[in-house]
Structure 1
Amino acid sequence: MAEVSAEARIEAPAGKVWAQLTDFASYGQWNATHTSFPQGGPETLEAGATFAENMKLMGFPAEVNWTVEELEPERVFAIKGKGPMGVLVGNRYTLTPDGDATTVRIDGEFTGAAVSLMAGKLKDSATAALNESLRKLGGLVG
């Protein structure tokens, strides 16, 4: 298993950050690993909703089929998915209001046989992508 995380303070209220985070049409503007949603984002954002995402990680394209695991508006958005070669992926976005700003934390995990072969590189690449994503997200809403 490879676990990654990143955290940033964004100078915008949680509602504004949440609106950007869950605006699937603009994902490519801030999410560093996102390339497209082949069928669009989830039709209804709720626990149990599913959607497919094309991503690029460590230079390799991958399609992940996501399921929304947990959803608490303006607080938590957690998804789990299945990628190529039996890799399971999880992402959890946690928003913590801090006055007029919001602390955003992203926790990600990758499990599966293919992960153990490249866990170190995967951690470095994914951590860099999370940090870049938070920087871009902050730029859009700040």
Structure 2
Amino acid sequence: MRIYRERFEPSDQLQRPYVIAGVNVIAAESDEEARMGLESRRRSLVGALFGSSENPLGDAQIEALLQGPQGHQVDQMLTYTAHGRPAAVRTYLRAFQQHADADELMVAHHAGSVAGRLRSIQLLGMAVLDDIPLNAVPLVEALG
């Protein structure tokens, strides 16, 4: 990021450097629920990457792959994942934003269901409400 920021040349579209960093989020009511959500995400990634719709992987196959190089690959994909209760997720995201030298974070919620993803979004929203700039309040209100 340092090189990008140092060598940035303004254009009509962007007058100054701007960095958006992506990060996975699994926010939950409890640490155990978040841990289970992370494990579920690991398992679903193994199934998606190494199985097929015609030949889905069974639990034993997924477990075996998680213990091998494929599991390492999945874990690398989840390197930047905030998971836990809302306060822990907030702390992680603040540290990640500094680490990435990012102006903005783009979060991807990975609960196992739509309801779980919506709850993760809600928990994160409540956790970071104090971090939202005052000039963004109309946008937050518009989003309901």
TM above 0.5: no
The normalised TM-score by structure 2 is 0.31
Please identify which structure carries the higher helix content. Answer: 2
